[in-house]
Amino acid sequence: MRIAIKYTMDDIQDAITKAIQIPPEPQHTLRTTISRLAFVVEFSSYFSEDFAFKVFVNASPTHCYPTGDDLGALMAHPSWVSLMMEFREVTGSFEQKWLSKKFESFEFKPQT
């Protein structure tokens, strides 16, 4: 309760945003990485497109095959699950341009 008095909700949201932006540990599981993406998607206005791109790529490795349980946190956002499936078909230097085009329909924090 004292935390709620001391800090505003904006302070708490900013702290959570900063914590999510800390680079993930190498031993994080695919499920953890996808959950991180789900958080970024849910609160997209707090994250830049560049950061969302990095999180998305980390959550969409083509050498892994996520299960339904792995994707559970992202199921509330089916367009992102679909985007992950499409992303598996895109390879090479074209992927960043392709993904930037796809990201245009999502509302991320404006670049500063």
Coil/strand/helix, residue 48: strand
Task: Look at residue 112 and tell me if it is in a domain.
Answer: no
pLDDT digits 0-9 by tens, 31-83: 888 988 998 998 888 888 888 999 999 899 888 889 999 999 999 999 999 99
Residue 96's domain comprises 2-103
Residue 111 lies in a domain: no
In the three-class reduction of DSSP (H, G, I as helix; E, B as strand; rest coil), residue 37 is classed as helix
Select from 42, 45, 48, 3 the least CA-distant residue to 21: 48
Distance in angstroms (rounded) separating the CA atoms of residues 105 and 70: 25
**For 10, which DSSP code?**
H
Whether residue 65 is contained in a domain is answered as yes
Cβ atoms within 10 Å, residue 65: 9
pTM of the full structure: 0.75
109 located within any domain:
no
| Tally of structural domains, the chain | 1
Q: Is residue 33 within 8 Å of 24, Cβ to Cβ?
A: yes
pLDDT tens digits, one per residue of 86-104: 988 887 778 888 888 888 8
